[in-house]
Amino acid sequence: MVTPGKNFTFFYVTSIILSLVTAGCAPVISKQVREQVRPDITFGEVLGNPERYKGQMIIVSGIVIETENTKEGTLLKVLQRPAGFRGKPRNVDETGGRFLALDSRYLDATVFTQGRAVTIAGEIQGKRVLPLGEIEYIYPLISVKEMYLWPIEKSYPYRHYHYNYWWWRNRYPYY
């Protein structure tokens, strides 16, 4: 038989666990900004014709290529990557291209370094043509409204251990 106290405790613990799990799944871009984004606009379409989508809001994920502080603010060159869980750029060998993200704030280039993952929500301002190697590349220019810099993930090398082989051998000598 279950007493009312145990039911309350079960409900309380379950609700705490559920709230922690859903809090971990929350998107990194605010709801107010996400409501302004048209989900039918893809990054590929914007890359093909940035001027057509001028004034539209977009959310794009990618990897920082270069950070430059200018009079306008901080200009990030970003390699677009498909978004995964919570909008984080997936670690895959595919991209839709490159784009520029202009943030009016000063962002430290030692923090926003090459290789850092970002998710950016902003308004498409048009295009900028800049040299990329020996070609002229058309970058869509996005004015940053919100940006999330993803934490650096630490990777640990895999090590193979013999799971206490000597302990088992000495404990069970006749095994």
Amino acid identity, residue 138?
Answer: I
pTM: 0.74
Q: Exposed (0-12), middle (13-18) or buried (19+): which is 62, by Cβ within 10 Å?
A: buried
Structure tokens belonging to residue 124: 């498409």
- Which segments of 133-170 are extended strands (E)? 135-149
Distance CA 59, CA 145 (A): 10
Domains of the chain listed by start with CATH number? 28-149 (2.40.50.140)
pLDDT of residue 99: 97
Distance CA 79, CA 126 (A): 17
Structure tokens belonging to residue 161: 């251990």
pLDDT of residue 85: 86
pLDDT of residue 154: 79
10-residue averages of pLDDT along the chain (175 residues): 51 44 62 92 94 96 96 97 92 94 95 96 96 95 97 72 54 55
pLDDT of residue 10: 47
Would you state the torsion angle of the CA atoms of residues 101, 102, 108, 112, taken in this order, to the nearest 10 degrees? 0
pLDDT of residue 173: 56
pLDDT of residue 162: 53
Q: Answer positive or negative: Cα dihedral of 113, 30, 71, 107.
A: negative
pLDDT of residue 158: 62
pLDDT of residue 142: 98
